[in-house]
Amino acid sequence: MNKTELIDAIAKDAEISKVAAKKALESFLSNVETTLGKGGKISLVGFGSWSVSERAAREGRNPQTGKTIKIAAKNVVKFKAGSELENAVNKKKK
C-alpha cells in the first residue's frame, strides 16, 4: 500500500473527503517526524512505538575492494510492534 492508497482507505473508512484524509495523514507524519527529531518517543498502545537510538561509529568493509572504511555514528528510528498488531499479522489461517 502506498501513500495514495492509504489516503483513499482512510477517507473511505472514516467517511471523510480525500482532502481531509490527506491532511490528517500528513499531520500525523509531521508530528511523528518532529517528535522523533527531538529525540522523543511515540507510543500507540496495541499498535506499537517508535523511538530513536544512537548507532555508534564503526568500521566496515567495502564489499567490492575489501578495504576497511569508517562508518559515522548516526541516529536510527526503531519501531516495536504492539501486541494487537503482532496478533493481527500472525493470525493462523484455518
pLDDT in tens, 44-87: 999 999 999 999 999 999 999 999 999 999 999 999 999 999 99
- Domain locations in the chain? 1-37, 40-93
Q: Is the pLDDT of residue 93 over 70?
A: no
Helices of type H across 16-58: 18-37
In CATH terms, the fold of domain 40-93 is HU Protein; Chain A (4.10.520)
Assigned C-alpha cell, 29: 507524519
Q: Each residue of 30-67: b (16+ CB within 10 Å) or e?
A: eeeeeebeeeeeeeeeeebebeeeeeeeeeeeeeeeee
Residues 26-48 have pLDDT tens digits of 999 999 999 999 999 999 999 99
